[in-house]
Chain A
Amino acid sequence: MRVLGIVAGRIGLLFGLPAILVAIWWLASADSEHFLFRPLPDILVAFRETWLGPRLVEDLLPSLSRLAQGYAASLVLGIGAGVLIGSSRTLRALVEPVLELLRAIPPPALIPLIGLFAGIGDTRRIVIIIAGCVWPILLNTVEGVRAVDEVLADTCRSYRVRGLSRLRHLVLRSASPQIMTGARQALAIGIILMVISELQRTDRGIGYTVEQFQTSFRYPEMWSGVLLLGLLGVALSLLFRLADREILGWYHGLRATQKESR
């Protein structure tokens, strides 16, 4: 009986507040005559009719595929350059101010410039995503590589661990918590850029579709798009957490034991 009570309490804590909020939204919007704030059931119907059909393939998939390509390229570029820059003190001092300047430029400001180079196709939108995602990964990798434990580095030197195995077992391993932090920030920025890279001169994609609904005054459909973006953000962050647990499991375990023994 007690176990049942605990489980019920858990479920209550997990779903209690969301249920209350949705109920408030439902009731408050039920008889809404406001042109923008439509009743929640209307939005849910619009969601089903708009997104659970061919649009899922035609609009959601291209957006996601561009995000995946841009994000993957950012990981390769950011970690590669980060390991190089982090390993050399001279190189770091040389490029640090340039990186500080480039990183500080908000990526959306680059959109008109990237348009000059990469035309208006898919390439342009992927480059926009890379231009924003690469910095958190790069800078965190540099920090992580720089902070490699000196005893471990000396041990590797004594045992003549060099080249690829040094990179894999020492450098990347000890930098990985920092790299994951950068990757998490980059994912959030990537979703933002995925949407706004579609706001101009596209014909497919979530961002474009939602904007079309807005300019054609189809507000329930517009809200359903906002809802879809929200669900997408949540799904991607869950996926990231799974990856984090898989890759950094050893690290979280280490931290937990350190905390206990303190």
Chain B
Amino acid sequence: MALRFRGLWLGLAGLVGFGLLLELIPRVGVVSDRYLPPTSRILAELGEAAGADRLWPAVGNTVLTWGIGLALAVVAATVLGVVIGSVRFLRAATASTIEFLRPIPSVAWIPAAIVLYGPVRAGTLLIVVYAAFWQMLVQVLHGVVDVDPVARDTAHSYRLGRWARVRWLIWPTALPYVVTGLRLAATVALILTVTGELFIGTPGLGAEILRAAAGGAVGLTYALVLVTGLVGVAANLLFRAVERRSLAWHPSVRAETPA
């Protein structure tokens, strides 16, 4: 327990130290404060923006696009992954296609998304879903294949039906992979949500950052980037909590607690 508190204090000290460093660098004159405003000014800008009426709708838009895209990708990839993964022929027949489609950078679709949809949410969703889908699908496929032979034979001996096998054998085996895929997909989806807002022009934090930067409001730009980072931190914490809850039974999580 004492160790955990020490870690907490050190972490806090690290954050404060980082803030102080960014305060001092422009104050001393290492970098002009036109490029890097001191921390205090960034925080003041952040406070002002939080009171005004542009920031929160932008945060809402970003989170909404991200959430919809992630949900679409995760549902599609999980269903397809379980179906393909549990039939040997399908797995073999789709492997080359998946290996080819997966590394296509999602940003390659940006020009097409602009022409097809224009600066609306659908355009950004296209690239978000594409990127998150493959992250998730590959994890689910790995997970479904990883079934323990003894568990499979046991299920066989007890004559578990198709659905019972999916529910009690394949799903628990795949779950750790699914959760990892979810976390990776969430990170990538957020990156592409902001990318879409910056380059397709979908409303959200990315579009606000571009607006602030184009207007020369450097302090506000930094404040908005900070907000984007905080959204990312919140997402990471959320999915780590999901991981701990849904895998509380799993040996890898159980072993961690009494450290």
Contacts and interface: CB of A to CB of B under 8 A. Distances in A.
Whether chain B is bound by chain A comes out as: yes
Interface string B92-109: 111111011111111111
A213 B195 CA distance: 20
A76 B225 CA distance: 26
B104 A112 contact: no
Given A21-B97, A102-B229, A234-B100, A96 B11 contact: yes
B136 interface: no
Nearest to A227: B108
A237 to B, nearest CB: 4
A199 B195 CA distance: 11
Contact of B93 (A13, A113, A237): A13
Given A17-B93, A104-B233, A233-B105, A112 B14 contact: no
Contacts of B231: 104
A94 B225 contact: no
A15 interface: yes
Interface residues on A, range: 35 or more
Nearest to B233: A104
Contact of B232 (A97, A104, A195): A104
A219 B112 CA distance: 9
A44 B224 CA distance: 43
Given A13-B92, A97-B11, A105 B228 contact: yes
Nearest to A229: B108
Nearest to B107: A195
Contacts of B162: none
A213 B111 contact: yes
Interface stretch (B67-75, B165-173, B203-211): B203-211
A258 B236 CA distance: 33
A225 B206 CA distance: 25
A227 B206 CA distance: 27
Interface in B172-228: 184, 190-195, 198-199, 205-206, 209-210, 212-213, 218, 221-222, 224-226, 228
B199 A93 contact: no
Contact of B236 (A100, A113, A222): A100
B118 to A, nearest CB: 12
B151 interface: no
A62 to B, nearest CB: 17
Given A94-B14, A102-B229, A192-B106, A226 B96 contact: no
Interface of B is mostly: helix
Given A104-B229, A192-B107, A97 B12 contact: yes
A222 B195 contact: no
B163 interface: no
B104 A233 contact: yes
A96 B12 CA distance: 10
Contacts of B30: none
Interface residues on B, range: 35 or more
A195 B195 CA distance: 11
Contacts of A90: 10
B225 A229 contact: no
A109 B225 contact: yes
Interface in A86-133: 90, 93-98, 100-113, 115-117, 132
A190 to B, nearest CB: 10
B35 A234 contact: no
A244 B218 CA distance: 42
A230 interface: yes
Contacts of B14: 93-98
Interface of B: 6-7, 10-15, 17-18, 31, 34-35, 92-97, 99-112, 114-116, 184, 190-195, 198-199, 205-206, 209-210, 212-213, 218, 221-222, 224-226, 228-233, 235-236
Given A98-B15, A210-B108, 6 more contacts: A108-B191, A108-B199, A109-B194, A116-B34, A192-B105, A192-B192
16 contacts: A17-B97, A96-B11, A98-B14, A101-B233, A104-B229, A105-B228, A109-B225, A112-B209, A113-B225, A116-B35, A188-B103, A196-B110, A214-B112, A229-B105, A234-B100, A234-B103
